[in-house]
Structure 1
Amino acid sequence: MSGRITPGGVSLLARAVAYGAGRRVGTGPVRLFLVLGRHRRLFTGWLHFAGRLMPGGLLPRRETELVILRVAHLCGSAYEVAHHTRLGRAAGLGEADLRRVAEGPAADGWSARELALLRAVDMLHAERDLDDAAWAELGRHLDERERIELCLLAGHYEMLATVIRTLRIDPDPPRRRSARAAAASAVRAGWAARRRGRGPARRPPAG
């Protein structure tokens, strides 16, 4: 996939967010931010809104990532699947969860609350609406504010999947480690091995 808008030429805020997010998930700078950041005024408002949904929402982070990943699978957004698989692991999703979310509510093993969330996401994707039964089922697990948030969260990531596809945003590059960082990591690994009685008796440098 070849991007329609060249990443870069963005504000310090967008660069900081892109590089910080990349460090968190183990990639290079996140291209979504480097592309959207080219519309500087819009980017700032969008970033504030997006942050209120994730990671600053009312729903537990694990559930937020389940919702986002389900939307990404339904929309066929490989970019979002890759990005939020990493974030999902950090939020407590196990490998079984990550496999099952592609199957959705039909998979075995979900709690009643998770099942209600996933069914709602599937219905929102297919119908752009929730019927009264689905709304009532959500109400057994979520209060009014959480239900509002769920609708906004699912709709937001539907929108992002469309934007990513339309702008042809390429997958984020693997994170490149500097020679200094690699050497420091090797020294730390050697010192750890030595403490376990298997490595050379050399103390790592300070600083």
Structure 2
Amino acid sequence: MTSEVARIAPGDRHDLGLLNSVITKVGARYMKARSANLFTTMGRNRKLFRVWLRFGSAMMPRGTLPRRDTELMILRVAYLRSCTYEFTHHERIGRSIGLTDDDIADITHGPTATRWTDRERTILRAVDSIHQTRDISDELWSELAGYLSESDLIEVCLLITHYEMLATFISTLRIQDDTFMTTGRK
């Protein structure tokens, strides 16, 4: 969590409008969170929030890539960007789709961790490459193309850059970490 004050406070029902307010409450309940600060902050721009939500959810959770690959990429971006908000949420999501404690711990080692399959290592190298250079070398692209269809390659590029953008948004607006429920209640 950042110690700084949020630059734009999360909105309430009046700020969000009825539809965005309902969306944020459903999202918080699904995440078992007391708050959904990303949603209630972005939701203050009513139109862009809904467009962004549709775009983002087309890749996660409704993308064509295996969910494990998707969550590994998102967690790696969050780690590289030091985005606690993003990492905490996707650590929880990752566990719900089968990532282990060791998988999550090895995100910090990136593609050099020995646990990854060749495919996972190549995908994580793509995350690191886009993060560091905003590009993927021809050599790495050829390796990725050995594992992924053209459609999947597009999704990988969009997913990585989307979560880079989201980490920038979270950091720039100083969005505060959410508080999660500790009970089994929804």
Q: Distance in 1 between matches of 2:60 and 2:81?
A: 19
Could you say which residue in structure 2 is the equivalent of 1:186? Answer: none
- Match of residue 17, structure 2, among 11, 35, 55: 11
Q: Deviations over 1:16-59 (max 9, x none)?
A: 33222222332113110000000011111111111111111111
Question: Aligned pair 1:34/2:40, yes or no?
Answer: yes
- Shift of residue 176, structure 1, vs aligned partner: 7.3
- Shift of residue 60, structure 1, vs aligned partner: 1.0
Could you say which residue in structure 2 is the equivalent of 1:189? Answer: none
Q: Distance in 2 between matches of 1:147 and 1:102?
A: 24
Give the structure-2-normalised TM-score.
Answer: 0.91
Q: Deviations over 1:46-76 (max 9, x none)?
A: 1111111111111111111100000000111
Structure 1 runs (4+) deviating above 2 angstroms are 11-26, 174-177
Could you say which residue in structure 1 is the equivalent of 2:171? Answer: 165
Identity score, percent: 45
> Which of the pair has the greater relative contact order for Cα pairs under 8 Å at 6+ separation?
2
**Counterpart mapping for 1:47-196 below 5 A:** 47-175=53-181
**Gaps in structure 1 of 5+ consecutive residues:** 183-207
Q: Deviations over 1:99-131 (max 9, x none)?
A: 001210011110011011000110010110011
Which amino acid in 1 is paired with 2:147?
H
Q: Distance in 2 between matches of 1:56 and 1:13?
A: 21
Q: Distance in 2 between matches of 1:20 and 1:88?
A: 19
Which amino acid in 2 is paired with 1:129?
D
Q: Deviations over 1:121-176 (max 9, x none)?
A: 10010110011111000011110000000000000000010010010100002337
Q: Deviations over 1:78-100 (max 9, x none)?
A: 11111110011012111110000
Larger Rg: 1
Question: Residue 35 of structure 2 contacts residue 180 of structure 2 at CA under 8 Å; is this kept in 1?
Answer: no
Q: Distance in 2 between matches of 1:94 and 1:153?
A: 22
